[in-house]
Amino acid sequence: MQGWLTPSIISLFSFGFWGLFSKLSVDYIDFKSALIYQTIGVIVVAMIGLGMVDFKPATASKGIWFAVLTGLAYALGCLFYFIAASKGKIITVVTLTAFYPSVTILLSCVLFNETISVKKIIGMLFAIVAIFMITD
Protein backbone atom coordinates (compact mmCIF):
# COMPACT_ATOMS: atom_id res chain seq x y z
CA MET A 1 0.00 0.00 0.00
CA GLN A 2 1.26 3.48 -0.79
CA GLY A 3 2.24 5.82 2.04
CA TRP A 4 -0.70 8.16 1.48
CA LEU A 5 -3.47 5.59 1.07
CA THR A 6 -3.83 4.29 4.64
CA PRO A 7 -3.89 7.79 6.22
CA SER A 8 -6.37 8.89 3.53
CA ILE A 9 -8.72 6.01 4.36
CA ILE A 10 -8.46 6.73 8.09
CA SER A 11 -9.18 10.40 7.34
CA LEU A 12 -12.18 9.42 5.22
CA PHE A 13 -13.74 7.46 8.07
CA SER A 14 -12.76 10.07 10.66
CA PHE A 15 -14.52 12.81 8.68
CA GLY A 16 -17.49 10.50 8.20
CA PHE A 17 -17.82 10.07 11.95
CA TRP A 18 -17.19 13.82 12.38
CA GLY A 19 -20.27 14.53 10.24
CA LEU A 20 -22.37 12.09 12.25
CA PHE A 21 -21.15 13.25 15.66
CA SER A 22 -21.62 16.92 14.75
CA LYS A 23 -25.27 16.32 13.90
CA LEU A 24 -25.78 14.36 17.12
CA SER A 25 -24.17 17.17 19.13
CA VAL A 26 -26.41 19.92 17.70
CA ASP A 27 -29.43 17.72 18.36
CA TYR A 28 -28.66 18.12 22.08
CA ILE A 29 -26.74 21.41 22.43
CA ASP A 30 -26.56 24.68 20.50
CA PHE A 31 -24.07 25.06 17.64
CA LYS A 32 -21.87 27.53 19.57
CA SER A 33 -21.41 25.08 22.43
CA ALA A 34 -20.80 22.25 19.96
CA LEU A 35 -17.97 24.27 18.40
CA ILE A 36 -16.40 24.86 21.82
CA TYR A 37 -16.53 21.18 22.77
CA GLN A 38 -15.24 20.15 19.36
CA THR A 39 -12.29 22.49 19.91
CA ILE A 40 -11.51 20.62 23.14
CA GLY A 41 -11.33 17.45 21.04
CA VAL A 42 -8.95 19.20 18.63
CA ILE A 43 -6.77 20.28 21.57
CA VAL A 44 -6.55 16.66 22.76
CA VAL A 45 -5.30 15.60 19.31
CA ALA A 46 -2.91 18.58 19.25
CA MET A 47 -1.44 17.51 22.60
CA ILE A 48 -0.88 14.02 21.21
CA GLY A 49 0.77 15.64 18.18
CA LEU A 50 3.03 17.67 20.46
CA GLY A 51 4.08 14.45 22.13
CA MET A 52 4.89 12.96 18.73
CA VAL A 53 7.37 15.79 18.00
CA ASP A 54 8.79 15.72 21.54
CA PHE A 55 7.14 19.09 22.30
CA LYS A 56 9.43 20.82 19.77
CA PRO A 57 7.23 21.95 16.87
CA ALA A 58 8.83 23.46 13.76
CA THR A 59 9.27 27.24 13.89
CA ALA A 60 9.45 28.44 10.27
CA SER A 61 7.35 31.62 10.42
CA LYS A 62 5.80 31.24 6.95
CA GLY A 63 4.68 27.69 7.78
CA ILE A 64 3.32 28.84 11.15
CA TRP A 65 1.20 31.57 9.52
CA PHE A 66 -0.19 29.18 6.91
CA ALA A 67 -0.95 26.66 9.67
CA VAL A 68 -2.75 29.38 11.67
CA LEU A 69 -4.73 30.34 8.55
CA THR A 70 -5.54 26.64 8.11
CA GLY A 71 -6.89 26.58 11.67
CA LEU A 72 -8.94 29.73 11.13
CA ALA A 73 -10.43 28.37 7.90
CA TYR A 74 -11.17 25.06 9.62
CA ALA A 75 -12.80 26.74 12.62
CA LEU A 76 -14.95 28.99 10.43
CA GLY A 77 -15.93 26.01 8.30
CA CYS A 78 -16.86 24.07 11.43
CA LEU A 79 -18.84 26.97 12.85
CA PHE A 80 -20.95 27.33 9.72
CA TYR A 81 -21.17 23.56 9.33
CA PHE A 82 -22.66 23.32 12.84
CA ILE A 83 -25.11 26.11 12.00
CA ALA A 84 -26.15 24.29 8.82
CA ALA A 85 -26.34 20.93 10.61
CA SER A 86 -28.57 22.41 13.29
CA LYS A 87 -31.00 23.79 10.70
CA GLY A 88 -30.97 21.25 7.89
CA LYS A 89 -30.85 17.58 7.05
CA ILE A 90 -27.38 16.17 7.68
CA ILE A 91 -27.49 14.21 4.41
CA THR A 92 -27.81 17.44 2.44
CA VAL A 93 -25.38 19.45 4.57
CA VAL A 94 -22.66 16.78 4.42
CA THR A 95 -23.07 16.32 0.68
CA LEU A 96 -22.83 20.01 -0.09
CA THR A 97 -19.90 20.70 2.24
CA ALA A 98 -18.08 17.62 0.97
CA PHE A 99 -17.76 19.45 -2.34
CA TYR A 100 -14.97 21.54 -0.80
CA PRO A 101 -12.17 19.77 -2.75
CA SER A 102 -13.52 21.47 -5.87
CA VAL A 103 -12.77 24.84 -4.28
CA THR A 104 -9.22 23.65 -3.57
CA ILE A 105 -8.86 22.36 -7.13
CA LEU A 106 -9.99 25.67 -8.63
CA LEU A 107 -7.75 27.69 -6.29
CA SER A 108 -4.81 25.42 -7.16
CA CYS A 109 -5.40 26.12 -10.85
CA VAL A 110 -5.49 29.88 -10.29
CA LEU A 111 -2.74 30.24 -7.67
CA PHE A 112 -0.33 27.42 -8.57
CA ASN A 113 -1.01 27.12 -12.32
CA GLU A 114 -1.93 23.46 -11.85
CA THR A 115 -3.82 21.98 -14.73
CA ILE A 116 -7.26 20.50 -14.38
CA SER A 117 -7.99 17.50 -16.56
CA VAL A 118 -11.21 16.79 -18.39
CA LYS A 119 -11.62 13.79 -16.07
CA LYS A 120 -11.54 16.09 -13.00
CA ILE A 121 -14.00 18.50 -14.58
CA ILE A 122 -16.37 15.61 -15.33
CA GLY A 123 -15.97 14.39 -11.75
CA MET A 124 -16.82 17.85 -10.40
CA LEU A 125 -19.88 17.98 -12.64
CA PHE A 126 -21.00 14.58 -11.35
CA ALA A 127 -20.53 15.88 -7.79
CA ILE A 128 -22.75 18.87 -8.55
CA VAL A 129 -25.39 16.56 -10.01
CA ALA A 130 -25.15 14.37 -6.89
CA ILE A 131 -25.72 17.38 -4.65
CA PHE A 132 -28.90 18.29 -6.54
CA MET A 133 -30.08 14.67 -6.52
CA ILE A 134 -29.62 14.32 -2.75
CA THR A 135 -30.98 17.77 -1.86
CA ASP A 136 -34.68 17.92 -1.05
Residue 111's closest CA among 68, 66, 77?
A: 66
Question: Is it the case that residue 1 has pLDDT exceeding 70?
Answer: no
**DSSP summary character for residue 88:** S
Compute the distance between CA of residue 50 and CA of residue 46 in angstroms, rounded to an integer: 6
Per-residue confidence (pLDDT) for residue 87, from 0 to 100: 95
Question: Is it the case that residue 101 has pLDDT exceeding 90?
Answer: no
Specify the pTM.
0.85
Which amino acid, residue 127?
A
Residues 45-74 pLDDT 10s: 999 999 999 989 999 999 999 999 999 999
Per-residue confidence (pLDDT) for residue 63, from 0 to 100: 95
Per-residue confidence (pLDDT) for residue 127, from 0 to 100: 85
The domain segmentation of the chain, as residue ranges, is 5-88, 99-136
Per-residue confidence (pLDDT) for residue 50, from 0 to 100: 93
Chain centroid, CA 30 distance in Å? 20
